[in-house]
């Protein structure tokens, strides 16, 4: 009886928020394969029927939870005072939201195309190569700021070199299927990108 009264008090947005929070917490604690509608319902203090009235299956529920709780990525252009610092900060901001999900969950999510597309949407256009790509626009702003500081001459840099940090980040995400580490970002910037920049400037 008490449970029924509790359920009656939570309706609409309040109940939906409780369910989405429960799904997010389940995802943080276990892999995607072991997350079930029943486990989410139990954590939310409701029953499976309530979940199925709102979402047809687990993937739809998880996508809704990701949209609600996955941290948003800022599109601000970093301004650390150096090209190296700006590129590092830019790459770090791209992957920080994924660190809120455990590794096994990420691997399971990547096996479900519908859910992975939702995750990718929080890394705006990271998998696109078009000139109007927002991330490439930010990279160009970073490079132009470096040129204004006298660090580089843009005319000596090819589009491929400018896009390289994003290409390597994409490769890291797809091949490792886990949050990209600070060490990996440092290697992309310090061991690959910056040496290429310095070499190009000496030509």
The CATH number of whichever domain residue 18 belongs to comes to: 1.10.357.10
Asked if residue 122 has pLDDT above 60, the reply is: no
Residues 137-192 pLDDT 10s:
899 999 999 999 999 999 999 999 999 999 999 888 777 766 788 999 999 999 99
How does pLDDT run across 62-96, given as a tens digit for each residue? Answer: 888 888 877 676 778 999 999 999 999 999 988 87
Of 128 and 9, more confident: 9
Estimate to the nearest angstrom the gap between the alpha carbon of 4 and the chain centroid: 38
Domain boundary among 69, 102, 125: 69
> What local confidence, expressed as pLDDT, does residue 173 receive?
79
Residue 193 lies in a domain: yes
Name the domain count of the chain. 2
192 and 106 assigned to the same domain: yes
Q: Which residue has the tokens 């047809």?
A: 56
Task: Based on the fold, state whether residues 192 and 97 are members of the same structural domain.
Answer: yes
Final residue belonging to a domain, choices 47, 69, 91: 69
Task: Please state, as a whole number, how many other Cβ atoms lie within 10 Å of the Cβ of residue 26.
Answer: 22
User: What mean pLDDT value characterizes the chain?
Assistant: 83
- Using CA atoms, how far residue 131 sits from 78, 115, 125, 142, 174, in Å, is 20, 26, 11, 16, 22
Q: Is the pLDDT of residue 4 over 60?
A: no
> Is there a single domain that holds both residue 56 and residue 105?
no
Task: Record the tokens describing residue 40, joined without a space.
Answer: 């989410």
Q: Is residue 176 part of a domain?
A: yes
Question: In this structure, are 63 and 100 located in the same domain?
Answer: no
- pLDDT for 57 beyond 80: yes
Q: Are 96 and 35 contained in the same domain?
A: no
Share of the chain above pLDDT 90, in %: 47
**Same-domain status, 101 and 155:** yes
Q: What is the domain range of residue 126?
A: 83-201
């Amino acid at each position: 009886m008490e449970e029924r009264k509790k359920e009656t008090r939570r309706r609409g947005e309040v109940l939906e928020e409780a369910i989405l929070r429960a799904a997010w917490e389940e995802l943080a604690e276990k892999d995607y394969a072991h997350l079930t509608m029943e486990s989410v319902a139990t954590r939310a203090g409701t029953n499976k029927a309530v979940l199925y009235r709102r979402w047809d299956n687990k993937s739809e529920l998880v996508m809704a939870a990701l949209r609600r709780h996955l941290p948003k990525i800022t599109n601000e252009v970093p301004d650390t005072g150096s090209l190296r610092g700006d590129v590092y900060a830019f790459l770090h901001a791209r992957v920080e939201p994924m660190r809120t999900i455990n590794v096994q969950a990420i691997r399971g999510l990547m096996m479900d195309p519908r859910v992975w597309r939702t995750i990718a949407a929080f890394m705006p256009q990271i998998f696109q190569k078009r000139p109007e790509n927002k991330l490439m626009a930010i990279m160009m702003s970073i490079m132009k700021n470096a040129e204004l500081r006298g660090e580089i001459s843009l005319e000596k840099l090819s589009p491929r070199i400018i896009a390289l940090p994003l290409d390597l980040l994409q490769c890291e995400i797809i091949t490792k299927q886990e949050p990209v580490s600070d060490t990996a970002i440092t290697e992309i910037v310090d061991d690959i990108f910056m040496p290429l920049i310095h070499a190009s400037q000496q030509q």
